[in-house]
Copies of this chain bind each other. A is one copy, B any other.
Amino acid sequence: MEDVRVALLGCGTVGSQVARLLDEQAADLTARAGAWLHLEGIAVRDINAPRDQAVDRTLLTTDASSLIDGADIVIELMGGIEPARSYILEAFEHGASVVTGNKALLAAHGPELYEAAARADVDLYYEAAVAGAVPVVYGLRESLAGDRITAVLGIVNGTTNYILDEMTTKGLEFDDVLAEAQRLGYAEADPTADVDGLDAAAKCAILASLAFHSRVAMDEVHVEGIRSITSSDIAAATRAGYVIKLIASAKRRENGIEATVGPTLIPNSHPLAGVHGPFNAVVIEAEAADRLMFYGRGAGGAPTASAVLSDVVAAASHIVEGGHAPRELIYADLPVLSLEESVARYQVEVAVDDTVGVLTEVSGIFAQHGVSISAVAQDHEKIIKGEDGLPGQAVCHLTVTTHAASHEALEATIAQLEDSDAVAGINRVIRVEEA
């Protein structure tokens, strides 16, 4: 049986699990790959840093280039742009296939890496870069190769999913849950990448590119984080039969691709509504297959290592048996739509004076901008205290759910609502997905 030489770059949470599994499951992996997967070495920055006990310290080296030079498959789990990018290009130049979990690198330099892999006629795999163990890259690249995808909707960031879950079940505010999540190690000390949606945006760009055979860059994804979500938003969602999730959404529209990340109302009956805590899930809507969902752990050393190893087995079997991973397919080359052009259903909560004719006034403003209303709910009245401490004007809340409308039309509607004398304020504007 052939020997396939594997080089591992990086030995953190995921890397150490990859090393462990390569050793512990050697017999199984060999049977499936049709070759011995031989771990030649592990490139690290500091050989003396503390490591998982399962890691054979004699494999550690600081000389990544020599390791790459003698490898058939390079597993890149260092993260960050450089030197990861240079090492991957080096691997391709040496004729090695690459398995990476580096979403930031793919979002920033995907096309360059894809082209280099194709030129070298080797594989580039990256299942672990999106949604951890969830095989959604596989699903998009291969399982749906016979279908036309219309939408991809994903919960692809575990930290924000955990925070929104805690806010929902415990009625807490964002800041308190974030502080607790940081204390427990579920959120980073600098939580920006997660809570402001940047991590999800990188994954959204990768998903959109795969689904629509076009190049979508991370900075073309319209991003909104979850910092502005309040316990009152969540309570209102719960009352109306929804949960609020941070959704990475990529949709095919007539005139291009819409790629957004933002807090979204998901109906309780939608399969994404039941995705809790550290789990990730991606729903794919396709013309023939209708709705599919892939669900699993979005992070963690062992789950992510499982995704890495499935890619390693695929790359190894190509080395032994011929064939190769699907190449980057960008034949569709669709444009990415601006935020203004993007189309969604929205829910808008408007505080209004409780007077006759106010509903006509408000619904008229939506109509003027061509935003069609699917439902209006009126909250029980609230008496706002006047400045003198006595009961003042009665105010009620109208929750308006729209049909699909362009972001531009929505913004114009909101602006005019804010100017209207009948409107005391706009409490909330949030996207809504269909069941």
Q: Give the interface of A toward B (CB within 8 A).
A: 17, 21, 25, 28-29, 31-33, 127, 133-135, 138-139, 142-148, 213, 271, 273-274, 279, 281, 286-297, 300, 302-303, 305-314, 317-318, 321-324, 326, 329, 331
Contact = CB atoms under 8 A, between A and B. Distances in A.
Given A29-B145, A289-B306, 11 more contacts: A135-B292, A138-B138, A138-B139, A142-B313, A146-B309, A274-B274, A289-B302, A291-B295, A291-B297, A292-B295, A321-B324
Nearest to A325: B323
Contacts of A322: 321-323
A213 B30 CA distance: 13
B306 A286 contact: yes
A32 B327 CA distance: 9
B303 A289 contact: yes
A329 B31 contact: yes
B296 A295 contact: no
A135 B143 CA distance: 6
Given A271-B274, A296-B293, A323-B322, A312 B146 contact: yes
B135 A139 contact: yes
Contact of A302 (B281, B288, B296): B288
Contact of A314 (B21, B145, B274): B145
- How many copies of this chain sit in the oligomeric assembly? 2
Contacts of A146: 21, 25, 29, 32, 305-313
B145 A313 contact: yes
A234 to B, nearest CB: 19
B295 A148 contact: no
Contacts of A145: 29, 32-33, 309-310, 313-314
A312 B144 CA distance: 11
Contact of A31 (B135, B279, B331): B331
11 contacts: A21-B288, A25-B146, A133-B289, A138-B138, A288-B306, A289-B303, A291-B295, A292-B294, A293-B293, A293-B296, A323-B324
A312 B145 CA distance: 9
B293 A213 contact: no
A25 B144 CA distance: 12
Given A139-B135, A292-B296, A310 B148 contact: no
A121 to B, nearest CB: 10
A280 to B, nearest CB: 10
Nearest to A295: B293
Contacts of A288: 17, 21, 133, 302-303, 305-306, 309
Contacts of A305: 146, 288
Contacts of A29: 145-146
A290 B303 contact: yes
A297 B289 contact: yes
A100 to B, nearest CB: 15
